[in-house]
Amino acid sequence: MKLFGHEITGLPKALVFLAAVLLVSSGLCGLQLLISNSNNASGGWPLFILFGLIELTAIVVSAVGIVVVLVLWTGSALYRRIARPEVDNPQSPFDSSEDSKPNDPK
């Protein structure tokens, strides 16, 4: 069984992880705002402030990380395209791998 995110590596995996952190922390921040604005919420305010700062820090770090990963991913793709252009190998569209092998007596 493959779990989500285990079959990808490198920059795409970092992008998935940072996007998940952004979504979870923004959802928790919204939930905390809903709880703090309700009429029956009492106590725990210093804890809410601490968790709010942690969530806002996670949002900012993941948003900056997403931008950095996208820039690096785009830069590496452009570098690969410029540094190693495809080798021109003009072949007939009718050539196949079977045609390039020597004939084996059967």
pLDDT in tens, 76-99: 888 888 877 664 455 555 555 555
Asked if residue 86 belongs to a domain, the reply is: no
Asked if residue 31 belongs to a domain, the reply is: yes
Asked if residue 92 belongs to a domain, the reply is: no
Asked if residue 87 belongs to a domain, the reply is: no
Round to whole Å and give the CA distance between 43 and 51: 14
Asked if residue 16 belongs to a domain, the reply is: yes
- pTM across the whole model: 0.66
Asked if residue 4 belongs to a domain, the reply is: no
Phi, psi of 74 (to 5 degrees): -65, -45
Residues of the chain falling short of pLDDT 70: 1-6, 39-44, 85-106
Asked if residue 21 belongs to a domain, the reply is: yes
Domain count along the chain:
1
Round to whole Å and give the CA distance between 54 and 37: 19
Write out the residue range of the structural domain in which residue 51 sits. Answer: 11-36+45-79
Residue of 17, 45, 22 whose CA lies nearest to 32: 45
